[in-house]
Amino acid sequence: MAASTPNAILIIDDDANLLAGLRRNIAGQYALDTFTDPHAALTSLRQGPMYAVVISDMRMPQMDGFTFLRQVHRLCPESVCVILTGANEQGPAVQAVNDGHIFRFLKKPCSRDELSRVIEQACQEYRNRCLRNGFLYRQTKNEQGPALMEAEAGVWAVTGYRGIDLAEQSFRWKDMTLPEDRFNVQAFYERAWAGVLPDPLEHRLCRKDGSVIWVRNTLLNRYVHGDMTLTIEGQIQDITEQKRIERNLEQARRRFEKIVANVPGLVFQCQIQSSGDFAFTFVSHSCLRLLGVTSEQLLMDSSLLFQAFSSDDRSSFFSKLAESAEQLSSLVWQGRHTRGDTERWFQITAQPERLADGQVLWDGLLMDITEQKKSEQHAEFLAQISNENPTPVLRVNEQGRIIYANDAAAPLLTLWHRQVSQLLPQDIYEIVLKASEGGRPITVEQRCVDHYYSIIFSPVRDSTDVNLYARDITKIKIAELELRNANQVLIEHDRLKSEFVSTVTHELRTPLCIFRNILSNALAGVHGPISKRLRENLEMAQSGVERLSRIISDFLDVNKIEAGSLQLEVDLCSLNDVVLETCRSLKLLAAAKKIKIKTDMPGGDCPAWIDRDRIVQVLVNLIGNAIKFIPIRGHITVRLETLEESFKISVQDDGPGLTPEEMARVFDRFVQIKTLKGPGRHGTGLGLTISRELVRLHGGRIHVDSEPGKGCTFWFTLPRTAKSQGSEPAIIASSPGHDC
């Protein structure tokens, strides 16, 4: 039996048939033990773990139910007691519930639903008892023996021990107390036995699991029985969490005192009392060094703070104090302090807070700003040089305090809500720190109402100060905005142009297909014999239609590339076959100019994952350009090479070559470097652009090597590893927005 679970139930009844019926009703819901003998049940309670609920019959031959449940409560006060009554036994049960001796009573026979409902309520009560952080106890002592301990519900949650552990093992309570606390605990109880109720005692206990807790032991009552037996009643409260909080507060207080001691100024707290008098409630010990009076003296007499300040300074302070109290605004005050022949400047900065009783409390800091004042006076002297500068100029110190600003800096100070001698906003101060630490000027832009400023944060040589030089760049920003707007217009025009070209080229493909079919049929004699002159005209028309079809295809490819909709149908192909077949298909075109095409192939096969038609398109563009642009009887060499991680295909000619400027532009759209005169010889200037994008989609790159007069070598690479792995053909799509 898993009686350690919160749902362990113990039922005692001398009627075995009733127990069997109860077991059937709650079978599977709870861990259940049943007994017909209450003495055996008590033995089980002593030796085993706790039960959440104990249900007892009221009338049993060996022991009545109330007596049995009182024993259960003594052994395990966390267990929730329920009594079973007969039809005429409800009166005592109701009284026992009202007196708190039992939790509930059940009238026999009870329904399964009623039994489950009461058990669930009792289990919830058990869980609540196991979460208590305190318990009541009773100790009884006579002259013959040691004090006996009886504990109420909560003892298990606090100590980890059951009531039986304390009731039947008198030494347990003493052993739980830590050795260093036992003397105080013993004296505590000796006073109680002597007739004096001592003050609550806080000490430590060792729980059953070995953990140490803090408890508060409070005696509630003491009385003497007729047989001279003494009884004391008390309460144990777990205050471990309270002790932890107190310990943390004490550590925080010590850290605060340490921080205050290291602050280079006087930390104070003050308030205006209900009588209207100004008084300090806290003053750090640095006041003796700064003001010549002790913190104790200032706490007793706050007027000692102002005795060395002039009457005007005192009047200014109390005026600002009243304004701060009324508006709950920060208090900032400066005054000149004279002690003997020494004159020093001090500044008070304080933040007000309105308390629940309506009084105002200030937390503040008094700082010696004598050196700062000297720096300001020096800066004011230097300001005469740059005050007439029409651009904003400021100087700040390493704390971020503005020590100088010329008249032109007024818009920036207004934007920052600052004045000279005040600290910069945090974001601006961080830039000052970066410039100071880096030792280099930093430039940022900031908008000020309808103007833009470029601010240079420049560290001052041999100083920790930083100068701020601002320049009005409003006209430049307006020009940038106009340029961006114009650029957006151009982008929109380019988009409309692309849409127009795409629409026109799509619309032209259908009629061109019709024209091509008509011309092919006419040339094939489908419509009858044609004359030689007509054939020449038809062949010329067919050549023009083919050229126009290629131009339309180029435009469509460019639009697909720009839109990211161009897809490659990749499959494993032999580059050897692709190169050789492409060269054979172009030999007739080369022969018209008596140009020889030579191929240079490697010894082995070169398999690659490619879109065969698109690589053929790239080769046709490169070889076709070479045929067009080199002289008659020229030479073209197409070479396939195997590199470490890729294959390289190059097309070399002995034509006029390209200049460096031409090579830089040769892959741009609509660029025709070598324009040849004559009909049918002009291209769109898109072939190399499309070739570059097709190679890029394959994961390769394309390049040209050339010198004027020494021909050109266009070459591109294809990766040896597939761009899409696997044995099946794959689709590779272009990404939109690529600049081709």
Residues 366 and 296 in one domain: yes
Which of 471, 504, 531 represents a domain boundary (last residue)? 471
Residue 641, in any domain of the structure: yes
Residue 499, in any domain of the structure: no
Is residue 206 packed enough to be buried (19+ CB in 10 Å), middle (13-18) or exposed (0-12)?
middle
- Please state whether beta strands 134-142 and 104-107 pair in parallel, antiparallel, or not at all (unpaired): unpaired
Residues 205 and 269 in one domain: no
Residue 113, in any domain of the structure: yes
pLDDT given at position 284? 87
Distance CA 161, CA 485 (A): 81
Distance CA 465, CA 475 (A): 31
- Asked if 459 contacts 440 with a C-beta cutoff of 8 angstroms, the reply is yes
**34 strand-pairing partners:** 11
pLDDT given at position 386? 65
Q: How many Cβ atoms are within 10 Å of 239's Cβ, its own excluded? A: 18
Q: Edge-to-edge strands of the sheet including 466-472? A: 402-405, 393-396, 466-472, 451-459, 442-448
Distance CA 442, CA 361 (A): 42
Distance CA 510, CA 64 (A): 107
Residues 139 and 114 in one domain: no
pLDDT given at position 350? 94
Q: Which residues contact 315 (CB under 8 A, 6 or more apart)?
A: none
> Hey, is 452 helix, strand or coil?
strand
Residue 230, in any domain of the structure: yes
Residues 591 and 708 in one domain: yes
Which token pair is 545?
């239609």
Residue 688, in any domain of the structure: yes
Residue 293, in any domain of the structure: yes
3-class SS string, 330-344: CEEEEEEEEECCEEE
Q: Which of 371, 370, 366 is nearest to 348 (CA)?
A: 366
Note the pTM of the prediction, 2 decimals: 0.43
Which token pair is 151?
């504990």
Q: How many Cβ atoms are within 10 Å of 119's Cβ, its own excluded? A: 26
Distance CA 394, CA 699 (A): 56
At position 470, the amino acid (one-letter code) is: A
Distance CA 334, CA 313 (A): 8
Residues 107 and 82 in one domain: yes
Residue 390, in any domain of the structure: yes
Distance CA 221, CA 343 (A): 68
Residues 118 and 25 in one domain: yes
DSSP code of residue 199: P
In tens, the pLDDT along 391-432 reads 889 999 999 999 989 888 888 898 889 999 999 999 999 999
pLDDT given at position 273? 77
> Helix 16-26 and helix 112-129: axis angle, to 10°?
80
3-class SS string, 266-316: EEEEEEECCCCCEEEEEECCCHHHHHCCCHHHHHHCHHHHCCCECHHHHHH
Which token pair is 490?
């151009």
> Hey, is 74 helix, strand or coil?
helix
Residues 309 and 194 in one domain: no
What separation in angstroms does the CA of 570 have from each of 366, 693, 699?
A: 78, 15, 12
Side-chain-side CA neighbours of residue 701 (13 Å): 3
Residues 123 and 145 in one domain: no
Q: How many Cβ atoms are within 10 Å of 39's Cβ, its own excluded? A: 13
Residue 482, in any domain of the structure: no
Residues 643 and 715 in one domain: yes
CATH (domain of 152):
3.30.450.20
- Asked if 668 contacts 691 with a C-beta cutoff of 8 angstroms, the reply is no
At position 673, the amino acid (one-letter code) is: I
Residues 601 and 666 in one domain: yes
Q: Which of 5, 247, 226, 256 is nearest to 123 (CA)?
A: 5
pLDDT given at position 209? 92
Which of 340, 375, 410 represents a domain boundary (last residue)? 375
Range of the domain at 323: 263-375
Q: Which of 42, 47, 55 is nearest to 8 (CA)?
A: 55
Dihedral, 332, 333, 339, 343 alpha carbons, nearest 10 = 100
**What distance separates the 2 farthest-apart alpha carbons in the chain?**
150
What separation in angstroms does the CA of 345 have from each of 182, 371, 420, 662?
A: 60, 8, 16, 74
> Hey, is 682 helix, strand or coil?
coil
Q: Which of 177, 202, 60, 52 is nearest to 126 (CA)?
A: 52
Count of domains observed in the chain: 5
Q: Edge-to-edge strands of the sheet including 331-339? A: 278-283, 266-272, 360-368, 342-354, 331-339
Residues 108 and 169 in one domain: no
Q: How many Cβ atoms are within 10 Å of 537's Cβ, its own excluded? A: 12
Extract the residue ranges of the chain whose pLDDT is less than 50.
1-5, 675-680, 723-726, 739-740
Distance CA 641, CA 609 (A): 16
Which of 375, 399, 432 represents a domain boundary (last residue)? 375
CATH (domain of 45):
3.40.50.2300
Residues 138 and 204 in one domain: yes
- Polymer length of the chain: 740
Which stretches of 328-473 are DSSP H helices? 370-386, 410-416, 426-438
Q: 51-84 burial by CB neighbour count: b if 16+ within 10 A, else e?
A: bbbbbbbbebeebbbbebbebbbbbbbbbbbbbb
CATH (domain of 703):
3.30.565.10
